[in-house]
Structure 1
Amino acid sequence: MSLSVGDVAPEFSLPDQDKQVVSLTELRGAPVLLVFYPFAFSGKCTGELCQLRDELAVYTDAGVRVLAISTDPVFSLKAFRDAESLTFPLLSDFWPHGTVAQAYGAFNEKAGMAVRATFLVDAEGKVAFAEVNSPGDVREQSGWKSAVAGLAA
């Protein structure tokens, strides 16, 4: 079951593409956009993350940290980040496989992958926006931007 607006966001610590551990607890005090995606290098995921890269200032100018999370290993994430010039951390929920995605209700157990889910966590650690898309559905990022604007208001 996915998280809802108002729920406390589950804490996590995951390695990024450079094997540096990123912890949600350490980011407390600032909003964080969590973008779960199935696989590095897949067409739809690449398109979504490249759009996020191109529009990153919408989030960073509002003080929002952006973290993308998949069940890919760190080595794949490093290659993906380099190939697409992504400038935000790509976190690996590889092992234990999908534990963080499961905690957020963003894991497809049968396929062993994260689903397309997005959560905006406010500065106090509560979910301010939650969206879980069906497999294969590309996300419309206008909802994320509206949620970020709502935090700033």
Structure 2
Amino acid sequence: MCFPFAFSPLCTAELDALAADPEVAARGVQLAAVSCDPVPALRAFADARGYRFPLLSDFWPHGALARALGVFDHATGTALRGSLLIDPGGVVRWSVLQEAGRLRPHALHRQALQAVPSPA
């Protein structure tokens, strides 16, 4: 999942919903979130919210991962709201990109999670 800003209301709401969703653990999915924020900001954000999944910094070279994923917003210098479901072989199985200023509906993430087979 790519997100624009740590501590912003929309990003916090999205990450909180995913962190609390029992389907993430039930399906054995490793959640990770990426923003162009620096490491100290992401560490403070994770600590403040109690996130137990990695928050990854795409700060330097600035936005390199977001650019590679096609979700870098050149006007703001941030990642757009993009979500990917990548299988263990590195193949993207699902993705969604949300326009700036709008939440990704959690139902979209839930549908993608439910398509992942439960671990045996």
TM-score (norm. length: structure 1):
0.74
Residue-by-residue CA offset, 1:53-83 (whole Å, 9 max, x unaligned) = 111x311221110000000000001110111
Residue of 115, 126, 130 corresponding to 2:91: 126
Q: Cα deviation per residue 1:93-119 (whole Å; 9 max; x = unaligned)?
A: 000000001111111011100010000
Specify which of 57, 60, 67 is matched with residue 95 of structure 1: 60
Pairwise CA distance, 1:148? 2.1
Q: Work out whether residues 23 and 114 of structure 2, in 8 Å CA contact, stay in contact via their aligned partners in 1.
A: no
Offset, 1:151? 2.5
Looking at structure 1, the residues matched to 13 and 62 of structure 2 have their Cα atoms a distance apart, in angstroms, of: 24
Greater mean deviation of Cα atoms: 65-74 or 138-147: 138-147
| 8 Å CA contact retained: 1:118, 1:131 | yes
Secondary structure in structure 1 of the residue aligned to 2:93: strand
| Structure 2 residues without counterparts, runs of 5 or longer | none
CA contact (8 A) 1:39 1:45 kept: yes
Q: Please tell me the root mean square deviation across aligned C-alpha atoms, in Å.
A: 1.2
1:108 — aligned with what? 73
AA aligned to 2:61 is: P
Letter of the aligned partner of 1:48 in structure 2? E
Runs (4+) off by over 3 Å: none
Q: What TM-score do the two structures reach when normalised by structure 2?
A: 0.93
Separation (CA, whole Å) in 2 of partners of 1:81 and 1:63: 21
What residue number does 1:143 align with? 108
